Amino acid sequence: MAMAQQTVNTAIDSLTAALKSNIIPNQEYFLQGSILDSSVEVLLHRLRGLCDNVDTNLETFHDHEMCFSIRGPNNTQPLQLRVRRSLDHNGMPMQLRYIGQPEIGDKSRPTVLRNSIDIGTSNTVVEFLTELGCRKDFEYSAKGYMFRKGRMKITVFKVFKIDETRKMMSSGGFDALSPLTHSYLVELSVLAPSGQDAIADDMRCFAEQLRPLVQLEKIDYKRLVHGP
């Protein structure tokens, strides 16, 4: 008891202790794919059959995500922070999230891996970030469905552009959303403490079950940056 008081007495200490004992889920294993609007019903049907939350109704979400960035002192790569808020549940806490560079790894690794830290915040987080010197890079709204299978999270959602011209209106532009593509983005992800690579194999198995409907893959982000 006395020892516990000695070692864990401030928030920072307990955080470091948690980090050391590797209990913080700060790694995100994920796979991505997409499905055409015309086939999304089939996918939803299959997911309802495969996933845990079958007995409840289809779980939907509609979020607004803003990506902020801030440059380091010597013009290094900008640090990106994302703020997400729910549009269909007003008054819920906002989410602030840091995502690191995705690591593709070699062929033996079944999923992409990236650092991910998120925290719930109050709705003044945008002002706070702006005061810090962050600048809004881009924003979008995501609307779709959410499934769970054990520790895995599966989201099927459409990405919408936010209409700048209507932004000043009372609805904030969210009533006239224009979809980016004719497809839904499908993401399969697990948040876990580092080193739990076994879950990645489970994810690969799950992804196999969605073929050939959706091809969940490791997307090479480096190629996206330089690509057309």
Partner 1 sequence: MQREEKQQDAVLEAVISRVNDLKTSIGAMIFKVENEYETLNWPNFLDNFALISGQLTSLTKILSNEKAPALRNFTVLPLMLKPDLDENLARVTEGRLTTFSHDIVPDYLRTKPEPDAELKMMQLEHKANCVTYETAQKQVAAMNKVVGHVWDLVNKAREEWESEAGSRSGAAQTFSLTDTPLLVAAISMGKGLKHTVAPGAMMGGPPPGPQRGPGALGPPQGPPGGIPGQMGPMGKAPSAIKTNIKAAGQMHPYR
Contact flag: residue 209 with partner 1 (CB under 8 A): no
For partner 1, the closer of residues 87 and 219 by Cβ is: 219
Contact flag: residue 74 with partner 1 (CB under 8 A): no
For partner 1, the closer of residues 115 and 215 by Cβ is: 215
- Per DSSP, the three-state class of 208 is helix
* Residue-wise DSSP of 32-95: EEEEEGGGHHHHHHHHHHHSSTTSSPPEEEEEEEEEEEE--TTS-SPEEEEEEEESSSTTPPEE
Identified binder of partner 1 from the candidate list 15, 36, 54, 92, rule CB under 8 A: 36
Identified binder of partner 1 from the candidate list 7, 14, 60, 181, rule CB under 8 A: 181
For partner 1, the closer of residues 191 and 219 by Cβ is: 219
Contact flag: residue 33 with partner 1 (CB under 8 A): yes
Q: How far, in Å, CA of 157 to CA of 177, rounded?
A: 14
For partner 1, the closer of residues 86 and 193 by Cβ is: 86
Q: Where are the alpha helices (DSSP H) in the chain?
A: 2-7, 11-20, 40-50, 125-132, 198-209, 221-226
Query: What tokens appear for 70 in the block?
Result: 């801030």
Query: What tokens appear for 37 in the block?
Result: 């609007």
- Residue 143 parent element (H or E): strand 135-149
How many chain residues are in contact with partner 1, going by CB under 8 A?
46
For partner 1, the closer of residues 8 and 187 by Cβ is: 187
For partner 1, the closer of residues 8 and 213 by Cβ is: 213
Eight-state DSSP code of residue 10: S
Identified binder of partner 1 from the candidate list 163, 196, 197, 204, rule CB under 8 A: 163
Q: Which region among 54-62, 120-128, 181-189, 199-207 touches partner 1 (by CB under 8 A)?
A: 181-189
Are 154 and 51 within 8 A, CB to CB?
yes
Q: How far, in Å, CA of 74 to CA of 117, rounded?
A: 24
Give least dist CB 18 to partner 1, A.
28
Residues forming a β-bridge with 183: 36
Give least dist CB 160 to partner 1, A.
9
Contact flag: residue 178 with partner 1 (CB under 8 A): yes
For partner 1, the closer of residues 43 and 129 by Cβ is: 43
Angle value at C-alpha 165, between 99 and 173, nearest 5 degrees: 60
Footprint of partner 1 on this chain (CB under 8 A)?
32-36, 38-39, 42-43, 65, 67, 69, 77-78, 102, 135-140, 142, 159, 161, 163-165, 178, 180-183, 185, 212-215, 217, 219, 221, 223-228
